[in-house]
Amino acid sequence: MPQAPKSPPPAKAAEAPADAPPHSLRQVKAAGPACLFAVFAVLPLLISLGADPFYLVIATRIMIFGIAALSLDLILGYGAMVSFGHAAFIGIGAYAVGMAASHGVTDLLAQLVLAMLAAAAFAVLTGAISLRTRGVYFIMITLAFGQMAYFFTVSLAAYGGDDGLTLPQRSTLLGQPWLENDFFFYYLVLILLLSCFLLAHCTLQARFGRVLRGTRDNALRMQAIGFEPLPYQLTAYVLAAMIAALAGALLANQAEFVSPAYMTWQRSGELIMMVVVGGMGTLTGGILGAAVFSLLEEFLSGFSQHWKLGLGIILVLIVLHGKSGMHGMLADLARRFGRS
Amino acid sequence: MLNLLVIQALNGLQFGILLFLVAAGLTLVFGVMDFINLAHGVQYMVGAYIAVTFTQLTGFFVTGVLLALPVAFLFGLLLEFLIFRHLYQRDHLDQVLATFGVILILHEGVKILWGAAPISIAIPEAVAGSVPLLGPLRYPVYRLLIIAAGLAVALGLYLLVRHTRTGMLLRAGASNAPMVQALGVDIRRLFMLVFGLGAMLAGFAGAMVTPILSVEPNMGDGILILTFVVIVIGGIGSIRGAFIAALLVGLVDTVGRSFGPILLKIFLEPAAASQVGRTLTPMLIYILMAAILSFRPAGLFPARQGA
């Protein structure tokens, strides 16, 4: 007997408050992102007041991975597409910068256009094939395509192959070497993070986002009322890929180094981890997750070279016992705080 | 040229057999429990380490492999008992995350216990030589042994799945697990058995490669992803599909790597051919997978319809 197609399980984190938030809760929800971005905006002031400048580097990395995690959340949290090859798009963005720079194109804007177009092309091709499948198949196919991109970059002997490619300097903006200044670079990343957040937020509030979420909750019903899911899912997939490529281009500039290591499947796993630990389907959750992950990496790796053991244990415990991620815990706190 | 083709075809067969040993367990776990286990690759890696340790302890490779099998089985049961059984009812995302965590734990655990440096052991003397094939052609005995062992396991699995009561339950479970449970079968015991069996097969594959590959913590990662490709091509839950797809992937990958550049040289000049060959050949199996999926989105032999 043929089984009815399984509907994707509704994302647990998102469903509770999304439908009919009481007035105070909506304020709390708007206050969350505002607080987050405010913290990022004033952080360099603390550092210029005498904190270790290395924190500026960490904070920049957190925001870059925040952009990447936000893009994954767009398809994972709002589209129930568990892509296990998302790091490939980061790598494409990074390699676009590295390759362009080695051919003398050092302008950031040109590089970003190149990165996003390349990522979009790869996403259209692989997305069109991957999205024909569901569930476990989708996870494994995106993983395989990510791996394919990884091996492709490993084979690029002209661009360093396995060893990667060191950038001579950071990209220029309008012909000026402004990005060399860490504070300038920090605020540029912050502006881009905020822009991506607002773009994603508006996209999800629009009709497009409603169709996407409807498909996530029940693809069959969406089809029944006349929406073909594939074009919406593919568009979201491509959009997410382009944002991830932006993060990759920034990452290459931050490290001044590009290598296939950016697109290993463990990276993709870490991105999923950031989104889920931070809270799926919240956009800011990914940024929180990126912060938690980077700080854990920073402190656990100082504690022991086997820090990933601790990370693995934490991850298993979170999946087995925690339900709604960091974002859920913060929302709980805010709700309790709001009531008292 | 023909000699090279025969050698590479045998290498491809041997590689495909190894892939099958890992994929068989994984496809059963997917098919019967609808459970995505990323940690299957590290079970292969753990099997290799256990075999190395027992070989060094007992001094014999055979005893090393034979002792590794029950330990790998028990290790699989332990993982199932501690972690995986709590995840069957969860969605795939939770399963991906938790098993990803298990990978991190086992990677580091192995590094702590055995060190990060690659370990290698010698091929046992009895099977260290090579045998003549056609004319001047010789082929290592040990690789033939892997092929034979793999084929024997495949036959054993076929008999188990097709002609025993357990196999009947497995097939029923792969097509409709809740129904099997409703008919009064203890599904938890079946799940545990499947899991242990899968872990043992992966461990067996790991143990068999210890003389020809270096044993290192990340040896399971590459094979895991190839196994995914195999399962996706073969159709989730189908052992027959996994067998055919594993041989296909093994052959295409191995033969493609050695003959791709040669074929390209017919059309391109040598320098360009070698660069294009180096770029294209690792991607060959993924292109194969994409091509097969565009015609059959559920793989060649899907075990259940509509899933």
**Could you tell me the end-to-end alpha-carbon distance of chain A, in angstroms, rounded to an integer?**
55
Hey, which residues 159-218 in chain A have their CB within 8 Å of chain B?
Answer: none
Q: What is the pLDDT of residues A191-216, one digit of tens each?
A: 999 999 999 999 999 999 999 888 88
Kindly state whether B304 is in contact with chain A, defined as any CB-CB distance less than 8 angstroms. Answer: yes
Confidence of residue A16 (pLDDT cuts 50, 70, 90): very low
* Residues facing residue B139 across a β-bridge: B131
Nearest to A200 by CA among A48, A16, A69, A49: A69
* Least confident span in A224-233, B77-86, B289-298: B289-298
pLDDT score, position A189: 92
CA distance A10 to A33: 24
Confidence of residue A24 (pLDDT cuts 50, 70, 90): low
Q: What is the pLDDT of residues B268-278, one digit of tens each?
A: 777 777 777 77
**CB–CB of A272/B96 below 8 Å?**
yes
Hey, which residues 63-102 in chain A have their CB within 8 Å of chain B?
Answer: 76, 82, 84
- CB neighbour list of residue A8: distance below 8 Å, 6 or more residues apart: A80, A134, A135, A216, A217, A219, B91
Q: What is the mean pLDDT of chain A?
A: 82
Cα B199 to the chain's mean position, in Å? 10
- Indicate the DSSP class of residue A169: S
DSSP string, A22-68: -HHHHHHHHHHHHHHHHHHHHHHHHHHTTS-THHHHHHHHHHHHHHH
- Indicate the DSSP class of residue A262: G
pLDDT score, position A190: 92
Q: What are phi and psi of A328, to 5 degrees?
A: -60, -45
Confidence of residue B131 (pLDDT cuts 50, 70, 90): confident
- pTM over 0.90, yes/no: no
Q: What is the pLDDT of residues B233-247, one digit of tens each?
A: 998 878 888 999 999
Q: What is the mean pLDDT of chain B?
A: 86
Confidence of residue A7 (pLDDT cuts 50, 70, 90): very low
Hey, which residues 275-314 in chain A have their CB within 8 Å of chain B?
Answer: 276, 306, 308-309, 311-314
pLDDT score, position A333: 63
Q: CA distances (Å), B121 to each of A62, B64, B165, B168, B210, in order? A: 43, 11, 40, 40, 7
Hey, which residues 226-245 in chain B have their CB within 8 Å of chain A?
Answer: 228-229, 231-232, 236
Q: What is the pLDDT of residues A102-112, one digit of tens each?
A: 888 888 888 89
Kindly state whether B278 is in contact with chain A, defined as any CB-CB distance less than 8 angstroms. Answer: yes
Assigned token pair, A8: 């994707």
Q: Taking CB atoms and an 8 Å cutoff, what residues of chain B touch A276?
A: 93, 97
CA distance B278 to A157: 9
Hey, which residues 168-207 in chain B have their CB within 8 Å of chain A?
Answer: 176
CB contact under 8 A, B109 and A309: yes
Is the pLDDT reported for residue A21 higher than 50? no
Residue in the structure block whose two tokens are 């340790």: B53
Residue of A nearest to B115 (CA): A306
Q: Which of B107, B290, B304 minimises the CB distance to A129? A: B290
pLDDT score, position B201: 92
Q: Which of B86, B286, B296, B305 should we substitute to test contact with A (largest number of A Cβ atoms within 10 Å)?
A: B286
Nearest to A308 by CA among B233, B181, B42, B147: B42
Supply the Cα-derived Rg of chain A in whole angstroms: 20
CA distance B254 to B9: 7
Q: What is the pLDDT of residues A41-100, one digit of tens each?
A: 888 888 777 777 788 888 899 999 999 999 999 999 888 888 999 999 999 999 999 998
**CB–CB of B219/B107 below 8 Å?**
no
Q: Which of B90, B94, B104 minimises the CB distance to A309? A: B104
Confidence of residue A337 (pLDDT cuts 50, 70, 90): low
Residue of higher predicted confidence among A304 and B9: B9
* Least confident span in A19-33, B18-32, B71-85: A19-33
Residue of higher predicted confidence among A242 and A77: A242
Confidence of residue B138 (pLDDT cuts 50, 70, 90): confident
pLDDT score, position B151: 92
pLDDT score, position A25: 56
**CB–CB of B250/B16 below 8 Å?**
yes
Q: Which of A137, A152, A311 minimises the CB distance to B104? A: A311
Q: Tell me what ipTM this predicted complex has.
A: 0.81
CA distance B31 to B234: 12
Assigned token pair, A81: 């597409």
**CB–CB of A77/A83 below 8 Å?**
no
Q: What are phi and psi of B196, to 5 degrees?
A: -60, -40
* Least confident span in A330-334, B33-37, B290-294: A330-334
- CB neighbour list of residue B121: distance below 8 Å, 6 or more residues apart: B52, B55, B56, B61, B210, B211, B215
The three-state secondary structure class of B138 is: strand
Kindly state whether A230 is in contact with chain B, defined as any CB-CB distance less than 8 angstroms. Answer: no
Which helix (DSSP H) or strand (DSSP E) does residue B140 occupy?
strand B138-140
CB contact under 8 A, A276 and B93: yes
E-strand ranges in chain A read: 165-166, 257-258
Average pLDDT, integer, range B80-100: 87
Kindly state whether A51 is in contact with chain B, defined as any CB-CB distance less than 8 angstroms. Answer: no
Burial class of residue B141, CB neighbours in 10 A (0-12, 13-18, 19+): middle
CB contact under 8 A, A311 and B30: no
% of chain A at pLDDT higher than 90: 24
